[in-house]
């Protein structure tokens, strides 16, 4: 048995051990939280891809000495703003959480109404990467983009939703309220 499979089994045992005595309502709540996180990753990746395209277009235009065109419709002000706080891109294991410093960076920026960005890549149980990017704007709203195109057993797409009220949820970022995920 490969080390990767042993790690996945150990992580699964750890996750299920904590749930064995949990009431059904807590189990459902945890499942919903995990589902939201997976959805949020696709939304985040789409935001990053949009940002890369915007920055590339602006750079190419600036190199020619002309005025850059405005960002495409739907581009987040947080992504295109030079004053945005970058809280990093983090690869975490299945049973790992985001670094405390990254969570604090992002939540502090949202509370102060400063644009901010935070990205995480987390593997599925099978080891497929799910990328989640959180982009906060100056109004405190957070665009959550989840990219699960590499998830062999998932919906294989990119989704985005708008969330408010970010909180720490077991070394992850959770939200008080989110819109329905939309395919990007």
- At 50-95, the pLDDT tens digits run 555 545 444 444 444 433 333 333 334 434 445 789 999 999 998 8
Report the chain's terminal Cα–Cα distance, integer Å: 38
Quote the radius of gyration of the chain (alpha carbons, Å).
18
Q: How far apart are CA 74 and CA 60, in angstroms?
A: 20
Q: Indicate the SS3 state at residue 118.
A: strand
Q: How far apart are CA 7 and CA 4, in angstroms?
A: 5
Q: How far apart are CA 76 and CA 70, in angstroms?
A: 12
Query: Beta strands 173-178 and 182-183: pairing type?
Result: unpaired
> Would you state the pLDDT for residue 85?
93
pTM, entire model: 0.56
> Would you state the pLDDT for residue 15?
66
Percentages helix, strand, coil for the chain (3-state, rounded to 5) are 40, 25, 35
């Amino acid at each position: 048995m490969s080390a990767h499979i042993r790690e996945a089994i150990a992580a699964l045992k750890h996750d299920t051990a904590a749930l064995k005595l949990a009431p059904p309502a807590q189990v459902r709540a945890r499942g919903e939280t995990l589902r939201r996180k997976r959805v949020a990753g696709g939304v985040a990746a789409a935001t990053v891809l949009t940002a890369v395209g915007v920055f590339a277009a602006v750079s190419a235009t600036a190199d020619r000495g002309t005025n850059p065109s405005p960002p495409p419709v739907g581009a987040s002000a947080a992504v295109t703003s030079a004053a945005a706080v970058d809280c990093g891109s983090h690869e975490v294991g299945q049973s790992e959480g985001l670094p405390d410093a990254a969570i604090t960076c992002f939540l502090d920026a949202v509370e102060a109404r400063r644009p901010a960005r935070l990205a995480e890549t987390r593997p599925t149980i099978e080891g497929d990467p799910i990328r989640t990017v959180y982009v906060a704007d100056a109004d405190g709203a957070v665009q959550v983009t989840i990219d699960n195109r590499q998830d062999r057993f998932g919906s294989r797409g990119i989704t985005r939703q708008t969330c408010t009220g970010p909180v720490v949820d077991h070394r992850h970022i959770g939200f008080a309220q989110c819109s329905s995920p939309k395919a990007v």
